[in-house]
Structure 1
Amino acid sequence: MASIGWVLLLFLAQLHTLLSTSIAHHAIGGNLTHHPVPFLCHPDQAKALLQLKKSFSFSRSTTRLSSWRNGSDCCLWEGVACDVSSGYVTILDLNNRGLYSHGLDPALFNLRSLRRLDLSMNDIGGNIPPGFERFAFLTHLNLSNLGLYGEIPIGISKLVSLFSLDLSSHLDNQYICDPGPNNYIGAKYLYKSSSLDTLVANLSNLRELYLDSVDLSCSGEEWGIALARSVPFLEVLSLAYCGLHAPIHKSLSRLGSLIVVNLQGNIFMAPGLFPVFFMDLINLTTLQLPSANLEGSFPPRSFQSKNLRVLDLSDNPYLSGHFPDFSDTSSLEILRLERTNFSYARPMSSSNFKSLKNLSLDGNLSVDFLSSFGGLGSLCQLDLALVDSVSELGSIFSWIGHHKSLTSLKLFGCNFSGITPTLLVSNFKTLKSLRMVSCKLPRLVLHSVGNLVGLQTLEMTGCTTYGSMPSSIGNLTNLRNLCINHCGFLGPMPAAIGKLTNLRNMYINDFGFSGPIPDAIGNLTNLNAITIIRDPGDQVSGSSIPYAIGQLSELEWLVLQHCKFSGSIPTSIGNLTQLMMLDLSENSLSGEIPSSIFNLSVLHYLDLSSNKLSGPIQGFDNKVNSQLETVRLRNNTLSGEIPPSIFSLPVLRILSLSDNQLSGPIQYDNTASQLKEVDLGYNALSGSIPEAIFQISSLEHIDVSSNNLTGSVDLSHFSRLTELTSLYLSHNKLHVTDDAADNPLAGVTKLGLASCNITRFPRLFMDLNLIWFLDLSCNKISGDIPNWIWASWRNSIVYLNLSDNMLTGMQLTSDVLPFANPLQVLDLSFNILSGRIHMPNLSADILNYSNNKFSSILPNWAFYLSETRYFSVSKNNINGHVPLSICSNSSWLQVLDLSYNNFSGSIPACLIENVPLMVLNLRENHFEEMLPSNITTRCALQTIDLHGNKIVGKLPRGLSNCSCLEVVDFGGNQIVDTFPSWLRGLPELSVLILRSNQLYGTIGDIVEDAESDECFPSLQIIDLSSNNFSGNLKPEWFKLLKSMMEEFNSPGKIITHDISSFATFYHDFTEITYKGTYVTFRNILTTLTAIDFSNNRLEGTIPETFGRLVSLLMMNMSHNSFTGKIPAQLGSMADLESLDLSCNQLSGEIPQELTDLTFLGVLNLSNNDLVGEIPQANQFSTFNSSSFEGNAGLCGPPLSKSPCGATPNAGNIYKSSRHVDVALFLFVGLGFGIGFAAAIVAKWGRVGRWFTATGRAWRT
């Protein structure tokens, strides 16, 4: 943003050089052969410039600085001007030359006579270097949009002659659908200054200061005072998007020479009144204060400047008042007041807006008010928000139609329902740009937009549409920019889009689109940018990326996220030689990464994360991929070693390869790297952490957690990483020590050292004053938690995980933890802590004290759960009651786990009736009395586990209103009731445990009560054992258990809740009978299926429909009074692993079909009336006699009696005991193509896979 004078001066300097050379030629008669003219350029200057050129690459062939040749006069080179007397370079202007390098070459600082230096609009990587203080004569410095980053060097503050300083960075809006201040919120600052006061303290001659998007968030409350004191003659002040916090200070009124003021986008600025002193600046031409948190009433006075051209107060919703007054409106060109609270009730006091080109208004607009602007003959851009003007919309559209110079129109919140297509087309026909935001667009109106054939830009954001995108969009053949953003279009993208052959930018972010991208997209050969993003929850899949996309030779930007693409990445993408941005993340792409991608020589950003890509990583070349800055390949199934070449990419800053299957060592030796982020977590990497990593001073983030890395790591190794803020070494085989004398982690805010063999709290932790995330779980730290943890970190810590250690005490004199900020996580679980539980004074999102030896808790503990969502004290020795205050103080609570303690008394009704609670686990306590019954449809419970208490009465019928219920366990209580057939309609109910109560009646009556075929549609585990159920089992019931009829081809998924942030901390578990004993299954998989009706008084035959339950793993009908034969259909239950029909009155032979159950590991048919020979095929030959004894009529192995057909000795026939001890079995496969193998299969065979499931460490 250098002044125009700079360009003029450069031209005059070049002209002066040419004239000087010409005069010299004439003085010697023009005879160049015999009278050579010496070069004006000083040799040292040429040498420095040539060295500088050598450091550059060029992204455009037309700007290769071809005139910069050895042996020629450097004063005649492109962008160079010299002092005619000395031959030293005074001007170097390389603005927007397509230069690319890996940092500024130090040769630049040999040009010490420079007065003007402009390197803006190029791509120079690396930290901004020191050395600028050498430019003692510099008056103009422009390093804007250069790609450099880091702290602004102190040398710039010593340039006392500076007239203009431009270090700004601007967000590139080329590929953004709706540019606006919110787009800058997530933008990464490049330059930063810890003190604006220090930067400008010596720059008293400064007239122009451009620091847009420079991080000034640490400049404190007095940034305005610093400017007023140090740069009194400032004319241009531009601090847009700088992260300023303090409001605009009145001291800026002393800068009376201000012409341009731009403070937009400082969204964190403290609220303040409009600075009235700006209205007194008589030279003011530009005032931009959008998103500056202005509030209150706008001053009812006029701007004194008669040259005001730009006034932008938009995006200050609490700024109110009447329309601003102006002393002279004739020069006003831009007026933006949208998203404010101005009133437009009265007409304009002036109608002389002859220069107005850009007008933006919202609120209760009327045609009368708009007409009072007079004839807006220059108006070319109009933004109107018409939320309150629906009745006048037609008249306003007619007013718009009278402005023939208008080419750009943006409408917000318009309801087009009453607008005829003819009215729209006739008034909008001159438009080149139409943007509609949050509008209601009927089908006919939307179709008529296709008749606005002059449109070059069309945007629809957040609009209400009906049906599919109309094919009439293909009529807009002049269209260059198309944006469809969250409009709810349904169906496929129309093939007519292929007619938009002039299209340059296409942005489609809409959850309704389905099906493939039409091949006709290959016709859009002028496209520069494509962004297509669909709804992450969209289930449509199967389409592939069209191969024709490789025909778009001009494409620079390709983003296809969440599109559910499958198949391989088309190799044709390698044809896109201009591509700088490639993002195919969050799809289902498979196969290897095509080598053609690595031939894209100008690629800056590559993101293929969250797909199903496999194979090795290969193909990176530090010459071909010399411009690659970001590589994200995380969350795939990539394998093999990480190629060393990837670490040699010269400007690579972000490398994310986590969540793959990569192995081998980290082969890294590039100490000159520009890397800022390295994420290699959740792989199978081995070896030690390379020493070279500890030399990369630019590193800010390192994550190598959850690998197989070994060796000793001293935290002092990180002392050179002065920019480091995040370090994750967790879950390897590392031995972390802290022998450092100083604090090498002073700037670290996030530190993951879980499972690092740490035996004590490192001393250096005492000085981690900025730490807010710390994970020391799964180490060997013993003794007390030192008091300095609570003292040193009380102002910073937000996440603290000390679980899985051997901690015994907390060194606290108070029962309250003295944190200054609310916590996200405090996890002290799995230690040996005892005594009373200490609660944080400001609550916490997640509190986990489980698996300790705590014996008490504060009587009013619920008071400290005001903002807690997860609270667990499971498996301690706590006595007492649950206070009723939990009903009023715990309105955010979603998970409450008090299991395995000694709580007693009644259960507060709100815990079951409360809306937000999702998991209630009170298992194995001494709660008593009846359960509350007033449960409404607002119930959010997903798990309720009251197993092992003293609950009496009936099951609460209101549970049928809990439509999200997945796990219900009321086992081991004293409930007297019938079978809860009223739960049959719950769509998610997977586990129902009611054993060991006093339930009675029949089970099959559910069929008679059912109103539809939906009956326990998701049920996979049902345990009704040890009750008083009687009667027959009705065959129809088992036909309805759909979830047990599905054949599974995978190990299944863990039953999860809609509480993803608690996944590491809470896991559902269940206990069911397996092999004659109760077995605990932690993490219930969707493939774990079981039916246990044992120890009841059921009778009749076992229904043949059991055979339909082909995915059932465990079936226990023992200790009932079943009669008849064992159904041969049970042989169809191919996944069955445990079958117990013992202690009944079953008769007949053992069906030969049962030998088809090749996964059967436990079989108990003892104590029945079975007869005949015991089958010997497959698994049956592995069972011992205990599986069959007590059946007088059975014969053959493994029974130790006479062979079948022989007359047995009556004295040897006896009735076995009905008490059977089922031992671990040896899984043996015999012959029949299986071979012979012997193994004890994870204690209990294939089911062992349910016993272990590890959650990832919760990270931010």
Structure 2
Amino acid sequence: MSLVVPSSFLNLTSSLEHLSLRSCHLQGNFLSQAFQLPSLQLLDLSDNSHLGGNLPEPSQSSSLEYLNLDGCQFYGSIPDVFGKMQKLTHLSLFANSFDGEIPTSIFNLANLTYLDLSSNKLRGPLPRNISGLSFLDEFQMDNNFITGPIPSWLFSLPSLSHLDLQNNRLTEPIDHVEMPNLILQEVYLSNNGISGSFPSSFFHLVNLAVVDLSSNNLSGTITANMLSKLVNLWDLDLSNNNLLSLSNNSTGVNYSFPNLWFLKFSSCNIHKFPSFLRKAERLEVLDISKNMISGQIHKWEIEGMSLASLNLSYNFLTSIDLFAFESLAQVDLSSNLLQGSLPILSTTSGFGHLIISGNNLIGEIPSSYCNLTFLNVLILAKNNLGGKIPECLGNLGYLRILDLQMNKFHGIIPNSFVDESRLITLNLNGNQLEGILPRTLGYCRLLQVLDVGNNCLNDTFPHWLGVLSELKVLILRSNRFHGAIYNSTPAFYFPELRIVDVSHNDFTGLLPSSYFKNLTGMRDVHEEEGGLEYMGAYAATSFLKAIFPDYYDSVMVILKGSYVELTRIPMAFSTVDFSSNRFHGHIPEELGELKSLHLLNLSHNSLIGQIPSSLGKMTQLESLDLSSNKLDGRIPEELTSLTFLSVLNLSHNKLEGDIPHGKQFNTFSNDSYIGNFGLCGFPLTKNCHNEEEPRAPPSKFDEDDDCAALFNWKFAVAGYGCGLVLGLSLGYIVFITGKPWWVVNKVEKYQQKFVRRCTHRHKKRKTQKPNQRS
């Protein structure tokens, strides 16, 4: 109904009771007359993203019982008119643009059962006292800017079962008062700044099923007997409260947790594994990552647990027996101090995710891993593992992420990747692998990230990978790749490539302009398309996001001459690095069409000719390195339009003429231009002298003048060392003994004598110069 004009609703009969225009693509400002129909009981305008305006006011006492404006574009403050809507039972204004404070009349609606004001721009505190909401069942006000304390009446509403105030700016402690509500089942208060100790009164809310107080500033200790009181609890998330701990307060007492399913205490203050959870028979997901649990977790502490997912990453563990978990399917033990060999896993194991990166493991990958039929993610990066990569890993049909970077694997890359492979990420960077890239990688049609940098591979450029329509990252850096980069039919090659790094190899020939023409993934990619999305989306968007939220593809890029690790790769980020090879010829004009490129590095080659002015069209460029080539001519003025450029290196070429001025170019130092003897102008000390620009005036003093010699920088630098010591010593004497008048008199007499001598010589030379000219 996008073509229906709002005025057409003026003919609605006054006896109308029910008006639903949900998801009708309505546009413009909805007329206030619809809110003033005297018999209207239900009005649903939700999911009309182009419908908005200010919220109209009813002209008289309203019969409205149900009002739903979810997902519209109403804005401004919510009018304080709910005193005229005493029959309201359902009020939902979710995902609009309302701002200002919440009108107090909303909290006095006696018949309201559902209230949703979430995802707006509402601010200010909640009222301290209210007189209504006795029948309220759900209260949702998340994703706003609500401040102040959490009032105690929220936990005393007799009918409230669902409370959601997450993602606000609540900072004060929760009142330690009795909470008589025995109906409350779900409490969401995460991502605020709530401080103080965890309120013990929470453990009297025996019907609580879900509690999320993560990402606050809570303190104190949660004990086993406290948790055991919440017999209906199945999901508890207290992560990211750095002063909150979890402890078994009574050794030998068996507590029961009959319904506990999810338990998350990541980034808290836990020092010991909570062994009392052995009696949580239904516990499937345990996340106690980023704590201070050290040493060994003994078999008796975990035996009998029926966990499906365990996250113990970022602790100080040295040993754990994974065999004690009979049903474990996902485990993250990354960034610990684990030693010894990789765990031997049962051939009947249903492991789907195995992450043990960033430890001190040695040895080879056990052959039993080939029998992990359902393995999706295998991350063993940053260990001391060696040997050959098992050939069978390429046969695992469900494998999506294989990350073995920064180890000591040698031999060849397995050539066993199967047709219809589901592989998304293959990272083998930083090993000792030899041979060629396996041609069976061409079967991996879902492949997005291929990183084989820093090995000993000896091959030509893999143009045959160009058919992989999903490939976004290709890193061949620091190997022995050689030859020219070309292909006879490059029409549809590498359409989605965002990051390509072939630096530090032995590639020759011309830069591949035909490839640059087809890199559509680097053209006009706007931040709103991918700026908030990251590569490695499989792990981040699946069910396991709640368990392993921190896995993302990473990549090393060269910035300011140093390697910088991007631990998350934004989908909108793009870079081209062809440095340290033997490319020759001109820089292709086609590079300028890569308007979304952020980093361009063509340094340390044998490129000739002028810098193309088309590079000025690369509006997102942040780093440009063309150093150590044989480029000549002037620096194009068009480069001054690159307003995001923060790193520029044009050093060691044959460039000449004036350095452009304006915008970012006024911020670059000498280092950006050294080794170009024909360049002049700021920031170089070499001035550009031409007919339009006068020379700088001669010095006031001649070189042999005693006055000038006093300010000669050579003498200043030579005297800096001893002068500093003498100055500090003299300063100390002044500070201790007071003003030494004998030194002051000496200096003042010398100063007067010096000034008189300089003045006399200056007058004498002034009278002599006319005679010399004559």
In structure 1, how many angstroms separate the alpha carbons of the residues matched to 2:445 and 2:349?
26
1:1130 equivalent in structure 2: 615
The structure-2 alpha-carbon separation of the partners of 1:602 and 1:1196, relative to structure 1 and needing over 3 Å to count, comes to same
Whether 1:888 aligns to 2:371 is: yes
Classify the secondary structure of the residue corresponding to 1:785. coil
Alignment match of 2:566 (pick from 1081, 1087, 1093): 1081
Secondary structure, counterpart of 1:900 in structure 2: coil
* C-alpha distance in 2 between matches for 1:1174 and 1:1083: 36
Tell me if 1:653 matches 2:653: no
Q: Paired residue for 1:1105?
A: 590
- 2:489 is aligned with 1:1009: yes
Q: Which of the residues 743, 752, 758 maps onto 2:244?
A: 758
Distance 2:64 2:119 in 1: 24
Q: What do the CA deviations read for 1:682-721 (whole angstroms, capped 9, x no partner)? A: 222221213457443432222212111122334x332432
> Does the aligned pair in 1 maintain the 2:57–2:79 contact within 8 Å?
no
User: Taking structure 1 as reference, are residues 622 and 740 closer, same or farther at Cα in structure 2, changes over 3 Å only?
Assistant: farther
| 1:1018 match | 496
Deviations 1:317-367 (A, max 9, x none): xxxxxxxxxxxxxxxxxxxxxxxxxxxxxxxxxxxxxxxxxxxxxxxxxxx
What letter matches 1:1111 in structure 2? S
**Residue type at the aligned position of 1:789:** L
Structure-2 separation of matches of 1:1151 and 1:546 = 54
- What is the match of residue 1095 of structure 1? 580
CA offsets per residue over residues 630-685 of structure 1, 9 Å max, x none?
22333444444345577952222221222333333334446642222222112222
- Tell me the amino acid that sits aligned with residue 659 of structure 1: N
Q: Is the Cα contact below 8 Å between 2:224 and 2:255 reproduced in 1?
A: no
In the other structure, the counterpart of 1:710 is 195
**For residue 642 of structure 2, what is the amino acid of its counterpart?**
L
Q: Which residue of 2 aligns with 1:788?
A: 276
Supply the distance in 1 between the matched residues of 2:152 and 2:378 (Cα, whole angstroms). 47
CA RMSD of aligned residues (A): 3.7
- Cα distance in 1 between the residues matched to 2:101 and 2:393: 52
Distance 1:742 1:997, change over 3 A: closer
- Contact kept, 8 Å, 2:296 with 2:319, in 1: the verdict is no
TM-score (norm 2): 0.78
1:1055 aligns with 2:534: yes
The alpha carbon displacement at 1:1136 in A equals 1.6
Normalization by structure 1: what TM-score?
0.49
- C-alpha distance in 2, partners of 1:744/1:1028? 65
Q: Do residues 806 (structure 1) and 295 (structure 2) align?
A: no
Cα deviation 1:1063-1105 (Å, max 9, x = unaligned): 4131121111111011011221123221110011111011122
Find the partner of 1:1163 among 619, 636, 648.
Answer: 648
Equivalent residues of 2:296, 2:318 under 8 A apart: no
Report the Cα offset of residue 1153 of structure 1: 2.2
Cα pair distance change 1:1190/1:864, threshold 3 Å: farther
Residue correspondences, number: 676
Cα deviation code 1:1014-1041 (max 9, x no counterpart): 4433222111111111111243432322
Q: Secondary structure at the residue paired with 2:306? A: coil
Tell me which amino acid in the other structure corresponds to 1:776.
Answer: F
Note closer, same or farther for the CA distance 1:1154–1:647 as it changes in structure 2 (3 Å cut): farther
Q: Tell me if 1:1043 matches 2:526.
A: no
1:927 to 400, 409, 413: 409
1:589·1:612 contact (CA, 8 Å) conserved in 2? Answer: yes
Say which of 664, 667, 676 aligns to 1:1191.
Answer: 676
Distance 1:692 1:1116, change over 3 A: same
1:649–1:620 distance in 2 versus 1, CA, 3 Å: farther
Spell out the pairing of 1:431-470 with structure 2 (5 A cutoff).
none
**Distance between the aligned counterparts of 1:1045 and 1:742, measured in 2?**
57
Aligned mates of 1:885, 1:578 — CA distance in 2: 70
How many Å separate the matches in 1 of 2:274 and 2:332? 19
Q: Which residue is 2:508 aligned to? A: 1030
What CA distance in whole angstroms lies between the structure 1 residues aligned with 2:225 and 2:449? 53
Is the CA contact (8 Å cut-off) linking 1:718 and 1:745 kept in structure 2? Answer: no
Q: Does 1:938 align with 2:426?
A: no
Name the CA distance, whole Å, in 2 between partners of 1:1176 and 1:546.
53
Of 629, 633, 639, 2:113 maps to 629
Q: Cα–Cα, structure 1 residues 951 and 843, in superposed 2: closer, same or farther, change >3 Å?
A: farther
Alpha-carbon distance change, 763 to 753 in structure 1, aligned in 2, over 3 angstroms: farther
Equivalent positions of 1:366-445 (< 5 A) are none
Q: How does 1:842-853 map to 2 (within 5 A)?
A: 842-853=326-337
Separation of aligned partners in 2, 1:881 and 1:573: 72
The structure 1 residue matched to 2:257, chosen from 769, 778, 786, is 769
1:698 alignment partner, SS class: coil
Q: Which has the higher contact order (CA 8 A, sep 6+)?
A: 2
- 1:50-97 per-residue CA deviation (whole Å, 9 max, x = no partner) reads xxxxxxxxxxxxxxxxxxxxxxxxxxxxxxxxxxxxxxxxxxxxxxxx
Name 2:638's counterpart in structure 1: 1153
Aligned residue identity for 1:761: S
Secondary structure at 1:959's aligned position in 2? helix
CA distance in 1, matches of 2:455, 2:11: 65
Distance 2:431 2:533 in 1: 27
Output the CA distance in 2 between the equivalents of 1:1018 and 1:638.
Answer: 41
Structure 1 residues 1098-1124: Cα deviation after superposition (integer angstroms, max 9, x where no partner): 110111222222222111100111000
Matches within 5 A, 1:607-756: 607-609=92-94, 611-616=95-100, 618-619=102-103, 621=105, 625-643=109-127, 648-669=132-153, 672-674=156-158, 675-692=160-177, 694-714=179-199, 716-737=200-221, 745-747=229-231, 748-756=233-241
Offset at 1:806?
0.9
Larger Rg: 1
- Contact between 2:342 and 2:365, CA under 8 Å: does it hold in 1? no
Partner letter of residue 897 of structure 1? I
1:833 matched to 2:317? The reply is yes
Give the letter aligned to residue 473 of structure 2: V
Q: Percent identity?
A: 32
Paired position in structure 2 for 1:990 = 472
Tell me the equivalent position of 1:308. Answer: none
User: Aligned letter for 1:918?
Assistant: R
**Is the Cα–Cα contact under 8 Å of residues 346 and 368 in structure 2 kept in the other structure?**
yes
Q: Quickly say closer, same or farther: Cα 1:762–1:798, change in 2 above 3 A.
A: same
User: Does residue 778 in structure 1 map to residue 267 in structure 2?
Assistant: yes
| Deviation, structure 1 residue 583 | 4.6
Q: Which moved more, 1:588-597 or 1:1153-1162?
A: 588-597
Q: Tell me which of 1178, 1184, 1204 is aligned to 2:663.
A: 1178
- Stretches of structure 2 that go unaligned for 5 or more consecutive residues are 697-774
* C-alpha deviation, 1:802, in angstroms: 0.9
Q: Letter of the 2:377 partner, please give it.
A: V
Q: Tell me, in whole angstroms, the C-alpha distance in 2 between the residues paired with 1:1125 and 1:769.
A: 73
Per-residue CA distance 1:538-597 (angstroms, 9 max, x = gap)? xxx785797597588766556676x46333278469699555444554x46453475488
CA–CA distance in structure 1, aligned partners of residues 411 and 73 of structure 2: 56
Shift of 1:889: 2.8
Shift of 1:533: 7.0
CA–CA distance in 1 between the matches of 2:498 and 2:371? 36
The one of 875, 878, 891 aligned to 2:358: 875
Cα separation, partners in 2 of 1:780 and 1:624, compared to 1, 3 Å: closer
Letter in 1 for 2:524: E
- Name the counterpart of 2:719: none
Letter in 2 for 1:1032: L
Q: How far apart are residue 836 of structure 1 and its match?
A: 4.4
- Secondary structure of 1:687's partner? coil
- Distance, in Å, in 1 between the alignment partners of 2:500 and 2:508 is 17
1:730 and 1:826, CA in 2 relative to 1: closer, same or farther beyond 3 A? same
How far is the alpha carbon of 1:801 from its aligned partner? 1.1
Measure, in 2, the Cα distance between the counterparts of 1:595 and 1:1156: 48
SS in 2 for 1:758: strand
Q: Secondary structure at the match of 2:105?
A: coil
Instruction: Give the deviation of 1:761 after TM superposition.
Output: 1.8
